[in-house]
Amino acid sequence: MALADIIPQAAGWLPKWQLVVAVMAVFNTVQNFMTLKFTRRVYSIAPQTVTALQARTFAIWTLTSAAIRLYAAYNIDNKVIYDLALLSYLFAFVHFGSEVLIFRTASLKGAAISPVIVSTVSMVWMISQYDYYVRS
């Protein structure tokens, strides 16, 4: 099997982006099961609040998001899957945004900036391309 065979075949870059984000999330899931080091960097203002249980829970949440986004990569024209992927970015944005602005456990000067950027870019991109991919 060639690399080109696993790349989503739908037009545009959004399906490929969904695949990249999903694969990155799988790696993030694995690291959350293996160590607290990187998760504590995300919640850099209160790293002591990151426990092994919280990291494993975060890992499963991340894996669930990865599965949704992986399905979206290959089924980008499916309204239900598209909507679920869009919601997964909204949930990530709200989570990390609230940790920065409300709970003050994370800082945009730290590792939390990456998921904020990915979720924001992905939401804006998906909203702007909704009618192109989802033809009701």
Tokens read off for 120? 């924001």
pLDDT band at 40 (very low <50, low <70, confident <90, very high): very high
Residue ranges in 13-78 assigned as alpha helix (H): 14-34, 37-42, 52-74
Residue range(s) defining the domain that contains residue 53 = 13-133
Q: How large is the average pLDDT for residues 110-123?
A: 96
Q: Is 3 inside a domain boundary?
A: no
Residue 36 pLDDT > 90, yes or no?
Answer: yes
Q: Is 89 inside a domain boundary?
A: yes
DSSP, res 33: H
Provide the terminal-to-terminal Cα distance of the chain, rounded to the nearest Å. Answer: 34
Q: Is 6 inside a domain boundary?
A: no
pLDDT tens digits along 41-59:
999 999 999 999 999 999 9
Q: Is 1 inside a domain boundary?
A: no
The total number of structural domains in the chain stands at 1
pTM of the predicted structure, to 2 decimals: 0.94
Q: Is 8 inside a domain boundary?
A: no
All residues at 6 or more sequence positions from 120 whose CB lies less than 8 Å from its CB, including other chains? 93
Q: Is 75 inside a domain boundary?
A: yes
